[in-house]
Structure 1
Amino acid sequence: MKKEKQIEDVEMNLTDHLTELRKRIIWTLVSFVAFFITGFIFIKDIYQFFVRDLAFDLHVTSPGEIIWIYFTMASIVALIGTLPILSLQIWLFVKPALTPKETKVSLSYIPAIFLLFLAGLTFGYVIFIQLILPFLLSLNDGMFNEIFTVDRYFKFLFRVTIPFAILFEIPIITMFLTSLGVINPVMLVKIRKYAYFVLIIIGTMISPPDFILQLVVAVPLIFLYEVSIILSRVVYRKKLKHHREFMEQDFEDDEYGS
């Protein structure tokens, strides 16, 4: 009878978790759709923002490109707008399993995730407009007639900016994994040279084949990794301090109990 009761409790607990997970997913999807519709409504303003600094006109070669730019722009808006909502829903889902202190600390990650993503997008866009695009155009030197299509231009733009937005999340991811005990600052220092190598490769893939531009792209990524190590040390020290205090308290309780 007791065993059946335990099985029933486990099944109810699993059902509650699945219900809660479905609720969080629904909220996230509703937010994505809402931001997607918003992006679709203001697509002309968004498009004008991206082309206002261009010294050339963009062309379309098929009606499909017009539909593509509408859906792509609206999707980018929806992705940016939904990111903090998604982070909040994940936090609400795991909140019951967190201590009050962990709840407070993890909640601060949500605005940081959003702001770092925006910072990465902005940095990538500035690098693209100010350095990468002028460099590539300078290679023409009057040899070719330039015809830029909407499809090719924005695919190239997103290829540069989106990776930066993701890579700018490295410090937050590092702090989170350190708090979980998955990584620690000693490990990050140990694999530093391999991390540099990977980041330089990513910088090479994002930027044109020019040493100066590749250096401009790679240096901020390496800087982000160094910041991640510093933040990991901060989190790790706090974690060790909390563990020591817990052990001391536990020892005192045992002493008084005996």
Structure 2
Amino acid sequence: IRPTEIFFTYLKCAVLSGFVLSLPIFFWHTWRFVAPGLYPGERRAVVPFVFFSTILFTSGAFFGYTMIFPVIFGFFTSFDSAFAESAWTMQEVFSLTTRLFLAFGVAFELPIVVFFLSITGVLTARQLLAGTPYAVLAMFVVGAVLTPPDVVSQILLAIPMVGLYLVGVGVAWVFGPKQEPAQRDARDPA
């Protein structure tokens, strides 16, 4: 351990905690600034978005902490032997934990992203289903980028993302724009 490591780890933890705890106040002030410029329908749409985004991010962080962290830390310590034993520093544990919290929190926002792509008409549920193989590949790439350089944590992040993608496809199917019968008949001659 370096002489300054404990101090700077405590400092980083305090700054991160202060940032997270101040987010509700920041969002409240941002909302008070933006809300007068929105139409009533737009204002009503923000509340469910904020609610579900918060729930999904928190669920992702909680899922990562309870289900994935023990597996990842167990995986890393499984390489210890009589000849070599890993020596984790506070900085490394804090950095890894913070990165995994963020990765799982952001990954669980996937249904919200798919929902907005659907209701804006950018993608339909059929297009999302057709693109599932590419989406799965992209999720494994994202899992590789966001997690430590081991296959286990990559897979443990990508598998829930695939499930959340499929939930998003279901949400897109239910809430996506419906085609008018005339448009459907014009596209499908049969």
Structure 1 and Structure 2 fold alike (TM over 0.5) = yes
Cα-to-partner distance string for 1:131-156 (whole Å, 9 max, x where unaligned): 01011101112322432211111112
Q: Which amino acid aligns with 1:69?
A: Y
Q: Which amino acid aligns with 1:230?
A: G
Asked which structure has the greater CA Rg, the reply is: 1
Percent identity of the aligned residues?
19
For 1:80 and 1:187, how far apart are their aligned partners in 2? Answer: 39
Q: Is residue 113 of structure 1 aligned with residue 53 of structure 2? A: yes
Q: Is residue 144 of structure 1 aligned with residue 84 of structure 2? A: yes
Aligned to 1:69: 10
For 1:198 and 1:95, how far apart are their aligned partners in 2? Answer: 39
Q: Which amino acid aligns with 2:50?
A: I
Cα drift, residue 189 of structure 1? 1.9
For 1:188 and 1:77, how far apart are their aligned partners in 2? Answer: 39
For 2:25 and 2:175, how far apart are their aligned partners in 1? Answer: 22
Cα drift, residue 116 of structure 1? 1.2
For 2:121 and 2:60, how far apart are their aligned partners in 1? Answer: 26
For 1:185 and 1:73, how far apart are their aligned partners in 2? Answer: 43
Cα drift, residue 227 of structure 1? 0.7
User: 5+ residue gaps in structure 1?
Assistant: 1-59, 245-258
Q: Which amino acid aligns with 1:183?
A: L
Cα-to-partner distance string for 1:89-113 (whole Å, 9 max, x where unaligned): 358626644353x432331111211
Cα-to-partner distance string for 1:61-120 (whole Å, 9 max, x where unaligned): 1225423432344324523651685388358626644353x4323311112111111111
Aligned to 1:201: 141
Aligned to 1:185: 125
Give the secondary-structure state (helix, strand or coil) at the position aligned to 2:178. Answer: helix
Instruction: Tell me, yes or no, if the aligned pair for 1:132 and 1:207 is still in contact at 8 Å.
Output: no
Instruction: Tell me, yes or no, if the aligned pair for 1:84 and 1:110 is still in contact at 8 Å.
Output: no
Cα-to-partner distance string for 1:156-180 (whole Å, 9 max, x where unaligned): 2222221111111111122233333
Aligned to 2:163: 223
Identify the structure with the greater helix proportion.
Answer: 1
Q: Is residue 163 of structure 1 aligned with residue 130 of structure 2? A: no
For 1:110 and 1:160, how far apart are their aligned partners in 2? Answer: 22
Aligned to 2:62: 122
For 2:28 and 2:81, how far apart are their aligned partners in 1? Answer: 47
Instruction: Tell me, yes or no, if the aligned pair for 1:117 and 1:166 is still in contact at 8 Å.
Output: yes
Higher relative contact order (CA 8 A, sep 6+): 2
Instruction: Tell me, yes or no, if the aligned pair for 2:9 and 2:90 is still in contact at 8 Å.
Output: no
User: 5+ residue gaps in structure 2?
Assistant: 182-190
Alpha carbons of structure 1 residues 234 and 105: separation in structure 2 relative to 1, 3 Å: farther
Give the secondary-structure state (helix, strand or coil) at the position aligned to 2:59. Answer: helix
Instruction: Tell me, yes or no, if the aligned pair for 1:116 and 1:165 is still in contact at 8 Å.
Output: yes
> TM-score, normalized by length of structure 2?
0.76
- After TM superposition, list the pairs within 5 Å mapping 1:97-108 onto structure 2: 97-100=38-41, 102-108=42-48
